């Protein structure tokens, strides 16, 4: 029986299981194919760990967050830790092993569900002859060639709910509350959750901020009788005069830099300059957890069923994407040509400015 393999790699997000379900059910129902799931991302391909997925395995998982297959953001077959030199890991190319193990699964194609890092690996595997179909996943929404990645809407919903809760305590204590959200080097999550949560100031990497402008805005609000402010900060935001703040380096990862901590820096500066009391909440991995929103379940189902159809028809080297209302395909190579950043003239920035939100810029 013909087979398809699925790998979920990189940081998890709500909706991955909905994609797995859609791929598997489409392949089983419409093409009478079998499905194998690679365990723990590309690590499973390197270590030859995978299992057959039955119809029952993928039934009832549309609502579940995370991934039933497990994932890893530290297992790049093209740069894999193969030993130690002193304290430091030494890296080597084990992609031939990964490809040999892929062949052992008996699958005719690999559906790679992941973000920027995963899609880079998928493209390199494709260039070495593995028939790959990509499915764009990430709460960061930073993948090119698709209007949106699945997982983003769920993360926006979670962050918005958190900002709503911060609002009430901010009001009671008359504080300036900083909420740091994820998003890596782009500001989509901060922008959408910031607007949805009625943030007074939103700081995104695409618009390096001026701390004095933020201070002026919260003082102005206070003078007008609004004795609290909400500042939504993307983890990748930075002052025009400063740098991004790095929390840690994960050398084995496709992108070793882990951001975090910028909100603490700004809050400290704002308290010093305004004498208003500040507090910081870092939402962290909460944003990647929980059940997907209805939007993400629908998008994941559309992406997954389309990916299975393409794989069954022998297509390869392409990624499914959303353009307007349509599911389309694009070369994976185009999707990894850069990061999808928030354009400074994005209509949501314009709308936010219209309702009085500051981006901390002149």
Q: Which residues are catalytic?
A: 140
Phi-psi bin for 155: left (phi > 0), alpha (psi -120 to 50), beta?
alpha
Question: Which CB, 35 or 259, lies closer to ligand F6P?
Answer: 259
Q: How far is the CB of 115 from ligand F6P (least distance, A)?
A: 6
**Sheet of 176-181, strands arranged across:** 201-203, 229-234, 176-181, 278-282
Residues 351 and 196 sit within 8 Å (Cβ to Cβ): no
The H-or-E segment that residue 215 falls in is: helix 211-223
Residues 20 and 67 sit within 8 Å (Cβ to Cβ): yes
Question: Which CB, 102 or 150, lies closer to ligand F6P?
Answer: 150
Question: Which CB, 258 or 265, lies closer to ligand F6P?
Answer: 258
Residues 219 and 200 sit within 8 Å (Cβ to Cβ): no
Question: Which CB, 200 or 235, lies closer to ligand F6P?
Answer: 235
What are the structure tokens assigned to 48, written together? 């030859």
In 227-359, alpha helices (H) = 262-274, 294-312, 332-335, 347-354
Q: How far is the CB of 81 from ligand F6P (least distance, A)?
A: 16
Q: How far is the CB of 73 from ligand F6P (least distance, A)?
A: 5
Cα within 13 Å of Cα(16), Cβ side:
29
Cβ neighbours of 55 (radius 10 Å) = 12
Q: How far is the CB of 183 from ligand F6P (least distance, A)?
A: 5
In 293-338, alpha helices (H) = 294-312, 332-335
Question: Which CB, 4 or 7, lies closer to ligand F6P?
Answer: 7
What are the structure tokens assigned to 27, written together? 């392949």
Q: How far is the CB of 184 from ligand F6P (least distance, A)?
A: 4
Question: Which CB, 138 or 229, lies closer to ligand F6P?
Answer: 138
Cβ neighbours of 260 (radius 10 Å) = 17
Q: How far is the CB of 174 from ligand F6P (least distance, A)?
A: 31
Question: Which CB, 115 or 290, lies closer to ligand F6P?
Answer: 115
Query: Nearest residue to ligand F6P, using CB?
Result: 182
For residue 362, give every residue at least 6 positions away whose Cβ sits within 8 Å of its Cβ, in sequence order, or none.
210, 213
Residues that bind ligand F6P (CB under 6 A): 11, 73, 115, 138-140, 182-184, 235, 258-259, 288
Task: Give, in order, the Cα–Cα distances in Å from 342 to each of 23, 36, 142, 219.
Answer: 30, 37, 9, 28
Cβ neighbours of 61 (radius 10 Å) = 16
Q: How far is the CB of 263 from ligand F6P (least distance, A)?
A: 14
């Amino acid at each position: 029986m013909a087979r398809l393999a699925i790998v979920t790699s990189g940081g998890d997000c709500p909706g991955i299981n909905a994609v797995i379900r859609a791929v598997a059910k489409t392949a089983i129902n419409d093409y009478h194919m079998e499905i194998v799931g690679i365990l723990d991302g590309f690590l499973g391909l390197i270590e030859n760990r995978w299992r057959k997925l039955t119809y029952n395995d993928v039934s009832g998982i549309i609502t579940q967050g995370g991934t039933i297959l497990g994932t890893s953001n530290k297992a790049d077959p093209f740069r894999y830790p193969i030993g130690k030199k002193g304290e430091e890991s030494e890296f080597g190319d084990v992609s031939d092993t990964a490809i040999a193990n892929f062949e052992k699964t008996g699958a005719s194609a690999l559906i790679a569900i992941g973000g920027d890092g995963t899609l880079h690996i998928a493209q390199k595997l494709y260039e070495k002859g593995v028939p790959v179909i990509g499915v764009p996943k990430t709460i960061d929404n930073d993948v090119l060639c698709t209007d949106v990645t699945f997982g983003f809407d769920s993360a926006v919903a979670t962050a918005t709910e958190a900002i709503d809760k911060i609002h009430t305590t901010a009001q009671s204590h008359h504080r300036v509350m900083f909420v740091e959200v994820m998003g890596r080097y782009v500001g989509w999550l901060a922008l959408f959750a910031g607007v949805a949560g009625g943030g007074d100031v939103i700081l995104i990497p695409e618009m390096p901020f001026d701390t004095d402008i933020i201070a002026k805005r919260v003082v102005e609000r206070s003078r007008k009788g609004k004795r609290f402010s909400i500042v939504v900060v993307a983890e990748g935001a930075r002052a025009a005069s400063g740098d991004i703040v790095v929390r840690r380096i994960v050398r084995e990862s496709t992108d070793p830099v882990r951001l975090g901590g910028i909100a603490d820096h700004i809050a400290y500066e704002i308290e010093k300059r305004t004498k208003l009391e500040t507090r910081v909440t870092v939402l962290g991995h909460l944003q990647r957890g929980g059940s997907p929103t209805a939007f993400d379940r629908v998008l994941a189902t559309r992406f997954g069923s389309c990916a299975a159809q393409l794989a069954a028809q022998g297509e390869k080297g392409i990624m499914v994407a959303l353009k307007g209302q349509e599911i389309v395909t694009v070369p994976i190579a185009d999707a990894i040509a850069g990061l999808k950043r928030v354009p400074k003239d994005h209509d949501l920035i314009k709308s936010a400015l219209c309702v009085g939100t500051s981006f901390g810029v002149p």
